[in-house]
């Protein structure tokens, strides 16, 4: 009789993955494995662990893309080995980056869209650092030429995303952040004018404030600074943080004057991986004209035997996101971007209307005129038996990730709940969310919360 015996030492991999030795012990967490292991098994064990992550499609807290298509996956796969910085080795990747810069410059109405400068970055944060640095350099050169002190640069912002606080701290610039007030949640011209002086390197309005999704009024700030210049000679540039709005306003708020149509707007940043529809890891910054980017900040790298100007904090960076961005420009075009962004905006407005009908909430942002989404607060005079933090926590049991947080300085008593609507969300998903939200409210009616959750306990995912 023939006997077949597997040598267990040598042939672990013939057994079912979940009966192999590696799956019967814990994965190494503090030191590298001593031995090599079956890649299939290790991959599965790691992917199993990742099941504990939130489901990205139901993440209504993030501004970043959570939807992708097969063509984008293929592009990312083909480009996975290419380094964005190697302009000489990958000249067509460099060429495509440059095309995206000019396409964005054109979309934002640069008077010199074919010749102006700009670059891709890892995201809006790096782009903001570059924009801030350019403003600091320009201000310093002007001050030095006038023989004046350059010790105390300041920058004026509304309630900005943390990247501007980082810029200020890392690059030694005083940040004069205009705090929110009850009745005024955004920067306005009056508050800007209270803070500007000869040491102001620039003013940064945000097109799509992270906390409330509303746009700051760039035109109003622009006009106030024009008047200031006429009266005092102070010439203060504007950088627009269009992390989200840079890819929205050109398509669904076409008449809004926020971009290079306003001569004082010298640079704009945006995130390709937010409403630019590209995979995570790409931002953009564009200067109005070549002269607005100080040449001292430019480094030259080899490119087809010649030199190519670059401006970046990072060196190596993946190239796929940039190619995916170009794909999106060609694949969707103006028409497609407009349809996608408008559809998202419609869903946000629908959710705001339905939330209002519940009767427990005041709508803070109804989805009109800013980023697709909605924000609401609990009405002051109701005691529904839960806080917004409790509601966020309960919604998570159905997979929904909905941010609740208190607003920043001077409005910390205002706790709001916010949903962002991005490509890949449907009307049906909006209905599913609303049904779940109402079920959670019903649950709290029957089981009122004795001790409400705190912001920190609720997860605090507000970005
Ligand atoms: C207004 C604004 N600026 C900057 C950023 C930072 O963008 P990124 O995540 O692309 O670095 C964000 C992120 O949400 C944002 O909303």
Q: Do 205 and 178 share a structural domain?
A: yes
Helix (H, G, I), strand (E, B) or coil at 285: strand
Q: Which of 59, 64, 125 to mutate to test the pocket of ligand 1 (most atoms within 8 A of CB)?
A: 125
Distance 447 CA to ligand 1 centre (A): 38
Q: Do 349 and 232 share a structural domain?
A: no
Q: Which of 163, 211, 317, 325 to mutate to test the pocket of ligand 1 (most atoms within 8 A of CB)?
A: 163
Determine the atom of ligand 1 nearest the C-alpha atom of 207. Answer: 1
Residue 296's domain is classified under what CATH number?
Answer: 3.40.640.10
Element (H, E) at 415: strand 415-420
What would the DSSP string read from start to end of 177-196? E---BTTB-S--HHHHHHH-
Burial class (CB in 10 A: 0-12, 13-18, 19+), 417: buried
Q: Do 260 and 389 share a structural domain?
A: no
pLDDT digits (tens, 9 = 90+) for 301-323: 877 777 888 899 999 999 999 99
Distance 380 CA to ligand 1 centre (A): 31
Q: Do 249 and 104 share a structural domain?
A: yes
Q: Do 99 and 23 share a structural domain?
A: no
What is the Cα–Cα distance from 429 to 412, expressed in whole angstroms?
A: 31
Q: Do 232 and 115 share a structural domain?
A: yes
Q: Any idea of the CA torsion for 296, 301, 302, 306, to the nearest 10 degrees?
A: -20
Determine the atom of ligand 1 nearest the C-alpha atom of 209. Answer: 1
Distance 160 CA to ligand 1 centre (A): 9
Determine the atom of ligand 1 nearest the C-alpha atom of 123. Answer: 10
**What domain range includes position 386?**
344-446
Determine the atom of ligand 1 nearest the C-alpha atom of 273. Answer: 10
Q: Which of 61, 62, 63 to mutate to test the pocket of ligand 1 (most atoms within 8 A of CB)?
A: 63
Q: Do 105 and 166 share a structural domain?
A: yes
In a domain, 5, yes or no: no
Q: Do 377 and 431 share a structural domain?
A: yes
Q: Which of 120, 175, 243 to mutate to test the pocket of ligand 1 (most atoms within 8 A of CB)?
A: 243
In a domain, 6, yes or no: no
In a domain, 65, yes or no: no
Distance 388 CA to ligand 1 centre (A): 24
Distance 120 CA to ligand 1 centre (A): 14
Distance 430 CA to ligand 1 centre (A): 25
What lies within 8 Å, CB to CB, of 148 at 6+ separation is: 198
Q: 182: closest CA among 435, 433, 409, 426?
A: 409
* Residues with C-beta less than 6 Å from any ligand 1 atom: 63, 123-125, 128, 161, 163, 206, 208, 210, 241, 243-244, 271, 283, 463
Query: How many folded domains does the chain comprise?
Result: 3
Distance 363 CA to ligand 1 centre (A): 24
Question: pLDDT above 90 covers what percent of the chain?
Answer: 85
Distance 34 CA to ligand 1 centre (A): 40
Distance 63 CA to ligand 1 centre (A): 8
Q: Do 323 and 200 share a structural domain?
A: yes
In a domain, 68, yes or no: no
In a domain, 123, yes or no: yes
Distance 299 CA to ligand 1 centre (A): 25
Which residues in the chain come in under a pLDDT of 50?
Answer: none
Query: 137, 172 in Cβ contact below 8 A?
Result: no
Residue 418's domain is classified under what CATH number?
Answer: 3.90.1150.160
Element (H, E) at 389: helix 388-396
Q: Do 160 and 282 share a structural domain?
A: yes
In a domain, 349, yes or no: yes
Q: Do 226 and 107 share a structural domain?
A: yes
In a domain, 133, yes or no: yes
Q: Tokens at residue 274, please?
A: 């937010």
Furthest CA-CA distance within the chain: 105
Determine the atom of ligand 1 nearest the C-alpha atom of 125. Answer: 11
Q: 268: closest CA among 207, 189, 201?
A: 207
Residue with CA at minimum distance from ligand 1 atom 5: 124
What is the Cα–Cα distance from 71 to 163, expressed in whole angstroms?
A: 32
Q: Do 179 and 101 share a structural domain?
A: yes
Determine the atom of ligand 1 nearest the C-alpha atom of 160. Answer: 1
The number of CA neighbours under 13 Å toward the Cβ of 122 is 11
Q: 201: closest CA among 147, 246, 267, 258?
A: 267
Residue with CA at minimum distance from ligand 1 atom 7: 124
In a domain, 302, yes or no: yes
Distance 347 CA to ligand 1 centre (A): 22
The number of CA neighbours under 13 Å toward the Cβ of 72 is 21
- Choose one of 295, 329, 363: the last residue of a domain: 329
């Amino acid at each position: 009789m023939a006997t077949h015996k597997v040598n267990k030492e040598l042939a672990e991999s013939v057994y079912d993955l979940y009966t192999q030795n590696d799956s019967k012990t814990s994965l190494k967490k503090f030191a590298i494995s001593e031995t090599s292991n079956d890649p299939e098994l290790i991959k599965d064990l790691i992917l199993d662990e990742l099941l504990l992550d939130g489901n990205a499609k139901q993440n209504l807290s993030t501004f970043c893309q959570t939807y992708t298509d097969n063509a984008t996956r293929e592009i990312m796969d083909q480009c996975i080995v290419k380094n964005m910085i190697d302009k000489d080795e990958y000249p067509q990747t460099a060429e495509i980056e440059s095309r995206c810069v000019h396409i964005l410059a054109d979309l934002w109405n640069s008077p010199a869209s074919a010749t102006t400068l700009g670059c891709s970055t890892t995201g809006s944060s790096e782009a903001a650092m570059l924009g801030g640095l350019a403003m600091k350099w320009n201000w310093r050169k002007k001050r030095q030429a006038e023989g004046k002190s350059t010790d105390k640069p300041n920058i004026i912002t509304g309630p900005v995303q943390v990247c501007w606080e980082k810029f200020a701290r890392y690059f030694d610039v005083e940040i004069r952040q205009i705090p929110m007030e009850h009745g005024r949640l955004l920067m306005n011209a009056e508050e800007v004018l209270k803070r500007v002086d000869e040491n102001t390197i620039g003013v940064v309005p945000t097109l799509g404030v992270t906390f409330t999704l509303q746009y700051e009024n760039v035109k109003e700030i622009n006009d106030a600074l024009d008047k200031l210049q006429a009266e005092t000679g102070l010439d203060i540039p504007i950088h627009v943080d269009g992390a989200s709005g840079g890819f929205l306003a050109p398509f669904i708020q076409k008449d809004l004057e926020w971009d290079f149509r306003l001569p004082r707007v010298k640079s704009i940043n945006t995130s390709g991986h937010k409403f630019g529809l590209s995979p995570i890891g790409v931002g953009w910054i564009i200067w109005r004209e070549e002269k607005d980017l100080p040449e001292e900040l430019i480094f030259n790298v080899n490119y087809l035997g010649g030199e190519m100007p670059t401006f970046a904090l990072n060196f190596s960076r993946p190239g796929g996101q940039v190619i995916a961005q170009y794909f999106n420009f060609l694949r969707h075009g103006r028409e497609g971007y407009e349809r996608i962004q408008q559809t998202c905006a419609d869903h946000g407005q629908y959710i705001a209307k339905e939330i209002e009908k519940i009767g427990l909430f005041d709508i803070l942002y109804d989805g009109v005129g800013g980023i697709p989404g909605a924000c609401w607060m609990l009405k002051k005079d109701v005691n529904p038996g839960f806080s917004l933090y409790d509601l966020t926590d309960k919604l998570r049991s159905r997979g929904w990730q909905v941010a609740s947080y208190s607003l920043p300085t001077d409005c910390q008593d205002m706790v709001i709940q916010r949903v962002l609507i991005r490509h890949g969300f449907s009307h049906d998903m909006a209905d599913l969310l609303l049904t779940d939200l109402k079920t959670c409210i019903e649950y709290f009616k029957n089981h009122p919360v004795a001790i409400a959750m705190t912001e920190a306990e609720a997860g605090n995912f507000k970005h």
